[in-house]
């Protein structure tokens, strides 16, 4: 019987972070135990029924490129897919999918159940067992202990969480699920710094009580890329969303009742997300705006529940009713679930190395909202990296640290472990200084080799990856062909308002012209019929933005020299003469792995880095 309680790794929590961590460990041939408070909450989309969005779509594509699961599951269970920011250039194009939340949960649960090295158990973890500053197991509230070599804690928003609606407070996890009441004390005892954060969700209303004639239809996009590079069929839109607006009446209702808002009357003590504010915060922050957008989004195919994106609130129920009925098209809407805020415990992410391992205990990793982030995608990305590094730790191999120039995942984790966060962290394209290099369309070209090295990329995926690389190289080579002046070519150029040819030029030169696309050339010369739309688009971006990409690559190479300059573990900053006291304190707190990471610490300036370099050279 004791043999069944010995595992290579234990993952605590089966949300988006926990699922990716557990799958990464199991798929790298480690006997893994996944513990969850409720099997009904596995990969549950508790906050909103969507995956992706600005910068978040990048994260999902990167998770997929590394061999993760979220992209595959999203493609199989989406209701609608759109590409955001199409008017802003390919660096910030972002996929966003409306997902069937019920189907997504069942699909992910089945994926876990069928993973051969993975055991799933409904249980609450009471404490993480440690000996000689190394993880040795976990203990549940029912008294069971499980021996293991590594633990990934991915408890999401469940630690001592409470739901708040007006003056009504319930000790609970999201959506009425049980919360976790025992683990926080153990984390404090282990040396973690605990913070209190807050997030929330809007009301759900009955679809048949909405007057859609007063709203604007929001169609999905056709013939666009999928989240997963393994998805062969173009995603199909199955449902539509709608757009409406709050009114002056909505604004007045909120302003007249701010004293009842938990955010403003002191009931809520946790810090909320800056970039996903409640409707009352938007009314206070943007006093000059008379209306705010409200997106009406279906929750699933098997329910009439409709999500009111943009109306997150924790107001009392009677105020919520007034607010909802003041919104255009929702005058007679029936609320099926009231909005609520949720407060929860999380850790200070500065307690972690960029591997997501806790600095004070070997083999202990944390991932997801417990690290102070918001969003399913940020959680899944961290879960995947924590799972990979737990695998490498068990194998005694060097840990994976994704640099900022490699991925949005690298930016996310570096921000958390180098700068920390005082509010729920949300990934945005503006956080990535090399975003022209870090696009959705080339996530596989950037990360699939890494996924193969750590053992997550399957032979099937790698074969597809190599084929895509070969096709891109072939298209690039064919662009060197010289096009001679001809009546057909010059007629085409006139039609495109481009100057005609008087001498031969390469196809690459034609493609560099502003008004000409690679699909124009495909049609004009009847070529590239065997290549995919995504492969052709990849080539077009590389050619059109060649100058910018070259300059950005030079910046990356310069910064990479800083990242390659390692700082020894346990380096004593207090002994460095000439290093300011603040810099010493910050460096000792963060314990940067490289000079590059040290240079990004708040409170460490270029003069401090110069002193540090001299000390390291000595």
DSSP secondary structure, 570-613, as one string: T--GGG-TT--HHHHHHHHHH--SBHHHHHTSTT--HHHHHHHH
Q: Which two tokens stand for residue 126?
A: 């009471």
Q: How far apart are CA 453 and CA 598, in angstroms?
A: 27
pLDDT confidence bin for 265, thresholds 50/70/90? low
- CA pseudo-torsion sign 169, 303, 235, 511: negative
DSSP 201: E
| Mean pLDDT of the 546-571 span | 91
Domain boundary among 343, 370, 397: 343
**Among residues 91, 17, 104, which one has the least CA distance to residue 416?**
17
Question: What is residue 244's predicted lDDT score, i.e. its pLDDT?
Answer: 98
Q: How many helices (H) and strands (E) does the chain have?
A: 21, 23
pLDDT confidence bin for 246, thresholds 50/70/90? very high
DSSP secondary structure, 363-386, as one string: TEEE-SGGGTB-SHHHHHHHHHHH
* 515 lies in some domain: yes
Which phi-psi region, left, alpha or beta, contains residue 175 (left: φ > 0; alpha: ψ -120 to 50)?
A: left
User: In this structure, are residues 66 and 72 in contact, taking their beta carbons and an 8 Å threshold?
Assistant: no
Question: What is residue 271's predicted lDDT score, i.e. its pLDDT?
Answer: 75
Tell me the three state secondary structure of residue 178. coil
pLDDT confidence bin for 2, thresholds 50/70/90? very low
Q: How far apart are CA 533 and CA 221, in angstroms?
A: 15
* 461 lies in some domain: no
Answer yes or no: do 369 and 496 share one domain. Answer: no
Average pLDDT, the chain: 94
User: Looking at the predicted structure, is the pLDDT value of residue 549 above 70?
Assistant: yes
User: Looking at the predicted structure, is the pLDDT value of residue 275 above 70?
Assistant: no
| Mean pLDDT of the 167-179 span | 94
Domain boundary among 310, 328, 343: 343
Answer yes or no: do 302 and 389 share one domain. Answer: no
Residue linked to tokens 């690039």: 476
The count of other CB atoms within 10 Å of the CB of residue 67 is 25
Residue-wise pLDDT for 472-529, tens only, equals: 999 999 999 999 999 999 999 999 999 999 999 999 999 999 999 999 999 999 999 9
User: In this structure, are residues 60 and 51 in contact, taking their beta carbons and an 8 Å threshold?
Assistant: yes
Domain boundary among 328, 343, 358: 343
The count of other CB atoms within 10 Å of the CB of residue 84 is 18
DSSP secondary structure, 66-127, as one string: TT-SHHHHHHHHEEEEEEE-TTS-GGG-EEEEEE-HHHHHHHHHHHHHT-TTEEEEE--EEE
User: Looking at the predicted structure, is the pLDDT value of residue 618 above 80?
Assistant: no
Answer yes or no: do 167 and 18 share one domain. Answer: yes
* 490 lies in some domain: yes
* 274 lies in some domain: yes
Answer yes or no: do 328 and 350 share one domain. Answer: no
The model's pTM: 0.94
Answer yes or no: do 333 and 355 share one domain. Answer: no
Question: What is residue 587's predicted lDDT score, i.e. its pLDDT?
Answer: 93
Q: Which two tokens stand for residue 36?
A: 């969850």
What is the domain-level CATH number for residue 591? 1.10.150.570
Q: Which two tokens stand for residue 34?
A: 């996944």
DSSP secondary structure, 15-76, as one string: SHHHHHHHHHHHHTT--EEEEES-GGGTT---S-SEEE-TTHHHHHHHHHHTT-SHHHHHHH
Answer yes or no: do 336 and 409 share one domain. Answer: no
* Angle ∠(501,506,510) on CA atoms, nearest 5: 60
What is the domain-level CATH number for residue 492? 1.10.10.1800
Residue-wise pLDDT for 404-425, tens only, equals: 999 999 999 999 999 999 999 9
Residue-wise pLDDT for 291-325, tens only, equals: 999 999 999 999 999 999 999 999 999 999 999 99
Q: What are phi and psi of 255, to 5 degrees?
A: -60, -35
DSSP 407: -
User: Looking at the predicted structure, is the pLDDT value of residue 270 above 80?
Assistant: no
Answer yes or no: do 227 and 283 share one domain. Answer: yes
Q: Which of 10-14, 265-269, 362-366 has the lowest mean pLDDT?
A: 265-269
Answer yes or no: do 442 and 497 share one domain. Answer: no
* 557 lies in some domain: no
User: In this structure, are residues 443 and 64 in contact, taking their beta carbons and an 8 Å threshold?
Assistant: yes
Residue linked to tokens 């190599």: 466
Question: What is residue 483's predicted lDDT score, i.e. its pLDDT?
Answer: 96
* 485 lies in some domain: yes
Question: Would you report the helix, strand and coil content of the chain in percent, each value rounded to 5?
Answer: 40, 20, 40
Answer yes or no: do 28 and 158 share one domain. Answer: yes
Q: How far apart are CA 12 and CA 450, in angstroms?
A: 26
Answer yes or no: do 41 and 136 share one domain. Answer: yes
- CA pseudo-torsion sign 488, 492, 497, 500: negative
Given the DSSP bridges, would you call strands 335-337 and 305-309 parallel, antiparallel or unpaired?
A: unpaired
User: In this structure, are residues 32 and 11 in contact, taking their beta carbons and an 8 Å threshold?
Assistant: yes
Helices 70-77 and 101-113, axial angle in degrees (round to 10)? 130
User: Looking at the predicted structure, is the pLDDT value of residue 155 above 60?
Assistant: yes
What is the domain-level CATH number for residue 339? 2.40.30.260
Task: Provide CB contacts within 8 A for 159, sequence distance 6+.
Answer: 179, 180, 183, 184, 344, 345, 346, 370
What is the domain-level CATH number for residue 164? 3.50.50.60
* 56 lies in some domain: yes
C-alpha distances out from residue 340 to 175, 323, 326, 409, Å = 9, 14, 19, 30
Count: domains in the chain? 4
Q: Which two tokens stand for residue 114?
A: 């069928």
Answer yes or no: do 306 and 410 share one domain. Answer: no
Q: Which domain holds residue 141?
A: 2-198+345-453
Question: What is residue 337's predicted lDDT score, i.e. its pLDDT?
Answer: 97
Question: What is residue 1's predicted lDDT score, i.e. its pLDDT?
Answer: 39
Tell me the three state secondary structure of residue 429. helix
Q: How far apart are CA 597 and CA 417, in angstroms?
A: 9
Provide, rounded to the nearest whole percent, the portion of the chain with pLDDT above 90. Answer: 88
Task: Provide CB contacts within 8 A for 87, sequence distance 6+.
Answer: none
Question: What is residue 233's predicted lDDT score, i.e. its pLDDT?
Answer: 87
C-alpha distances out from residue 538 to 258, 303, 514, 550, 555, Å = 50, 39, 17, 16, 22
* 556 lies in some domain: no
Answer yes or no: do 40 and 23 share one domain. Answer: yes
The residue among 569 and 31 whose pLDDT is bigger is 31
Which phi-psi region, left, alpha or beta, contains residue 133 (left: φ > 0; alpha: ψ -120 to 50)?
A: left
pLDDT confidence bin for 97, thresholds 50/70/90? very high
């Amino acid at each position: 019987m004791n043999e069944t309680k010995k595992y290579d790794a234990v993952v605590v929590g089966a949300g988006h972070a926990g699922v990716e961590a557990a799958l990464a460990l199991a798929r790298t041939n480690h006997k893994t135990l996944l513990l969850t408070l409720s099997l009904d909450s596995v990969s549950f989309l508790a906050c909103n029924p969507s995956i992706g969005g600005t910068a978040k779509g990048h994260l999902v594509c990167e998770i997929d490129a590394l061999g993760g699961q979220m992209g595959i599951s999203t493609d199989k269970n989406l209701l609608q897919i759109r590409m955001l920011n199409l008017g802003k250039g390919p660096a910030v194009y972002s996929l966003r999918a409306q997902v069937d939340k019920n189907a997504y949960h069942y699909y992910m649960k089945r994926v876990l159940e069928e993973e051969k090295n993975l055991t799933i158990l409904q249980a609450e973890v009471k404490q993480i067992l440690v000996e000689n500053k190394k993880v040795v197991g976990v203990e549940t509230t029912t008294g069971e202990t499980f021996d293991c070599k590594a633990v990934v804690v991915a408890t999401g928003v469940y630690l001592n969480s409470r739901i708040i609606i007006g003056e009504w407070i319930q000790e609970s996890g999201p959506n009425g699920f049980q919360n976790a009441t025992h683990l926080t004390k153990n984390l404090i005892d282990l040396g973690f710094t605990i913070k209190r954060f807050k997030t929330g969700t809007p009301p759900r209303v009955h679809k048949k009580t909405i007057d859609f004639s007063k709203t604007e239809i929001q169609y999905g996009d056709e013939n666009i890329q999928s989240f997963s590079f393994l998805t062969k069929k173009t995603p199909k839109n199955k449902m539509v969303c709608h757009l409406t607006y709050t009114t002056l009446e909505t604004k007045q209702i909120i302003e007249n009742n701010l004293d009842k808002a938990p955010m403003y009357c002191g009931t809520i003590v946790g810090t909320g997300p800056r970039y996903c504010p409640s409707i009352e915060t938007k009314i206070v922050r943007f006093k000059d705006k008379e209306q705010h957008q409200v997106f009406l989004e279906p929750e699933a195919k098997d329910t009439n529940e409709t999500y009111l994106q943009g109306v997150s609130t924790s107001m009392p129920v009677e105020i919520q009713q007034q607010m909802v009925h003041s919104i255009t098209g929702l005058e007679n809407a029936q609320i099926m679930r009231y909005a609520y805020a949720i407060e929860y415990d999380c850790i200070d992410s500065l307690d972690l190395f960029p591997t997501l391992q806790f600095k004070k205990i070997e083999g202990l990793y944390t991932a997801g909202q417990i690290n102070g982030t918001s969003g399913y995608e940020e959680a899944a990305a961290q879960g995947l990296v924590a799972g990979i590094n737990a695998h490498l730790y068990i194998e005694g191999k060097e840990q994976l640290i994704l640099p900022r120039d490699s991925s949005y995942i690298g930016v996310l984790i570096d921000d958390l472990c180098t700068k920390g966060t005082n509010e729920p962290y949300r990934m945005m394209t503006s956080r990535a200084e090399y975003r022209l290099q870090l696009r959705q369309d080339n996530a596989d070209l950037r990360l699939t080799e890494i996924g193969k090295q750590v053992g997550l990329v399957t032979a099937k995926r790698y074969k597809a990856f190599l084929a895509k690389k070969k096709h891109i190289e072939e298209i690039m080579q064919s662009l060197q062909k010289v096009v001679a002046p001809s009546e057909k070519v010059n007629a085409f150029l006139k039609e495109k308002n481009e100057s005609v040819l008087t001498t031969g030029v390469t196809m690459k030169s034609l493609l560099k012209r502003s008004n000409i696309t690679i699909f124009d050339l495909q049609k004009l010369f009847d070529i590239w019929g065997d290549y995919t739309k995504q492969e052709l688009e990849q080539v077009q971006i590389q050619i059109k933005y060649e100058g910018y990409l070259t300059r950005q690559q030079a910046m990356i190479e310069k910064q990479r020299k800083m990242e390659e300059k390692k700082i020894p573990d346990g380096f004593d900053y207090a002994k460095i003469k000439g290093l300011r006291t603040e810099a010493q304190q910050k460096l000792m707190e963060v314990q940067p792995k490289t000079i590059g990471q040290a240079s990004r610490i708040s409170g460490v300036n270029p003069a401090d880095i110069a002193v540090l370099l001299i000390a390291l050279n000595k």
